[in-house]
Amino acid sequence: MKAVVLAGGYATRMWPITKDRPKMFLPVGDGTVIDVIFEELEADSRVNEVFVSTNERFADTFQDFIADSAYEKPTLSVEDTTEEDEKFGVVGALEQLIDREDVDDDLIVIAGDNLLSFGIGEFVDFFQRHDTPCLAAYDVGSRERASSYGLVQLENEEVVDFEEKPDHPQSTLVSIACYAFPQDTLPDFEVYLSDGNNPDEPGYLMQWLQQRGELNAFTFDGAWFDIGTPESYLDAVSWYLDGETYIADSATVENSHLGENVHIMEESSVKNTTLERTVVFSDATISDADIESTIIDEKSRVEDVELSQALVGAYSQVQ
């Protein structure tokens, strides 16, 4: 069995934090978002190779990360794009990867910006039990939020209706970017695209597959975060920290009040400051400030200000 971790996006809604950094490398606790996925796939003996599908802009970053890590399964598979408007779309990129890497095996596909609370091995168990295309589904608890995803209706575990981004969702159970495809369905990618279907949103592919055969959904409780905005990233950090504060050993905090869900990385300095629900990247300097729901990038300097819901880019000076 092969796996693909989708890491080809440019995360423009999180610039400048993600302008020169893949959003999958955003820190969560001791690791990064993508570490959680890699660790799960590395531990599952049924998965013998993991392709990291990314773009040319971030190819070197991922190559260095893989080379420096202890992971043995990931290999890089690079899309021929450097800008957002050149992207093939998720389905187009997958079809190219299947052809480029000569994939001829059952395939697990996971978005690298997913922070999941279930074990990927559980999803693989479910897939092998059904031996049909499968997806993971989660109750987002809000019809307004559900309208941004693919809406799933089930009878037992089978998907009996799938509607991508409905204007008026009738439920709150949605498909997340975690899929499985039996080996004999991989040619369907080419058929789907050759018929002129949407190349970017995988939900439309799942809708197309559901209309042509059996599609099953793995449902789970707990938490799921689709990290594509500053708010969703801070939500993920807050869930992981669970109200606690994470301070790297080499960071300095003096005469400051740290509220809930604060993450301060190595070599950073925080003095005479109040922080709440904020992530401070490495080697940043903050003093005499009051900061809430903010992301402060590396080597930046923030002094004598009040900030809320802000993004401070690397090497910035805010006074």
For residue range 143-183, list pLDDT tens digits in order: 888 888 888 999 999 999 888 888 888 889 998 889 999 99
- All CATH 3.90.550.10 domain ranges in the chain, comma separated: 2-229
All residue ranges of the chain with pLDDT < 50 are 82-86
For Cα atoms 216, 221, 223, give the angle at the middle one, nearest 5 degrees.
115
Q: What is the pLDDT of residue 82?
A: 46
For tokens 């689709």, name the residue.
Answer: 226
Q: What is the pLDDT of residue 297?
A: 92
| Strand duo 311-312 + 74-79: pairing | unpaired
- All CATH 2.160.10.10 domain ranges in the chain, comma separated: 243-318
Q: Determine the Cα–Cα distance for residues 207 and 275; give it in Å rounded to an integer.
A: 44
Class of domain 243-318: mainly beta
Per CATH, the homologous superfamily of domain 2-229 is Spore Coat Polysaccharide Biosynthesis Protein SpsA; Chain A (3.90.550.10)
Q: Determine the Cα–Cα distance for residues 83 and 8; give it in Å rounded to an integer.
A: 10
Binning the chain into helix, strand and coil, the percentages to the nearest 5 are 30, 30, 40
